Amino acid sequence: MDGLNDFRTERVSQVLAEFHSLQHCIADVPADPINAEEYYTEGWAALRQCAIDGQHILNCAADVTVPQAQGGELEQAKAELKQILLDAYSRRHVARKIYHRQAAATRWVEYRENVLQGQRPNRANHRQLRACDDQLRRELSQITDDGVYQELRSSDIAMGYWTAEDPSLRSVRRWVQARPQTT
């Protein structure tokens, strides 16, 4: 036994707490516009997809398959904590990615409202609205697994968290790929 199960337990708690906070943030953002004419626009479609993805990552089943560890009860607890950390860490990763996509779409809504200023889309504002859509697409394309992983890792280290056994990006990607996707 390596004596690190208390650290592992604390790490799982930290990651789950952040995942929980992200879920609340995701759930608090409106997914449907007040004006029904805006329903099929790119930003609102992105916000609806974020809401669906946020619900999916909350509802997808945990992988509870933990190999039988050699060495007794404490080694089995170590194996279980590592599996729980992978699940929590991966969910937090996906939630942060959704959160960033949602933030980009929310900015799009604000930009669009500034362009329209209470008016309907027309020839005079068509170019500006198209620029809003282009900006949204650019921002969404820049939200990558690598970027989110590095952001979370840097934040955890800056907070002084024990990260010695955090899952690799490859492990997170495998976890995500094992879940049916909604997008």
What share of the chain in percent tops pLDDT 90?
84
Q: Is residue 36 packed enough to be buried (19+ CB in 10 Å), middle (13-18) or exposed (0-12)? A: exposed
Report the alpha-carbon distance of residue 165 to residue 85 in Å, rounded. 9
Question: Is residue 70 in some structural domain?
Answer: yes
Q: Domain limits at 132?
A: 5-173
Count how many domains the chain has.
Answer: 1
Angle, CA of 116, 118 and 122, to the nearest 5°: 45
- Averaged pLDDT for residues 166-175: 97
Q: Which residues contact 66 (CB under 8 A, 6 or more apart)?
A: 76, 79, 80, 83
Q: Does residue 183 belong to any structural domain of this protein?
A: no
Report how far residue 23's alpha carbon sits from residue 51's, in angstroms, rounded to the nearest whole number.
10
Is 179 inside a domain boundary? Answer: no
Question: In this predicted structure, which of 51-55, 61-65, 77-81, 120-124 has the lowest mean pLDDT?
Answer: 61-65
In a domain, 180, yes or no: no
The pTM of the full predicted model, rounded to 2 decimals, is: 0.93
Contact between 115 and 127 (Cβ < 8 Å): no
Q: Average pLDDT of 146-150?
A: 98
Confidence category of residue 181, pLDDT binned at 50, 70, 90: low
120 assigned to some structural domain: yes
Report yes or no: 145 and 131 within 8 Å, Cβ to Cβ: no
Dist CA 177 CA 125 (whole Å): 41
Average pLDDT, the chain: 94
The answer to whether residue 63 scores a pLDDT higher than 80 is: no
User: Would 133 be classed as within a structural domain?
Assistant: yes
- Rounded to the nearest 10 degrees, the angle between the axes of helix 73-116 and helix 42-59 is 160
Task: Supply the pLDDT for residue 69.
Answer: 79
18 within domain boundaries? yes
Q: Alpha helices, DSSP H only, in the chain? A: 5-28, 42-59, 73-116, 126-141, 145-158, 169-177
- What local confidence, expressed as pLDDT, does residue 71 receive? 83
The answer on pLDDT for 47 being more than 80 is: yes
Write out pLDDT tens, residues 83-138.
Answer: 999 999 999 999 999 999 999 999 999 999 999 999 999 999 999 999 999 999 99
pLDDT in tens, 8-39: 999 999 999 999 999 999 999 999 999 999 99
Say yes or no to pLDDT of 180 above 90.
no
Residue 183: pLDDT above 60? Answer: no
Band of pLDDT at residue 67, cut at 50, 70 and 90: confident
Does a structural domain hold residue 181? no
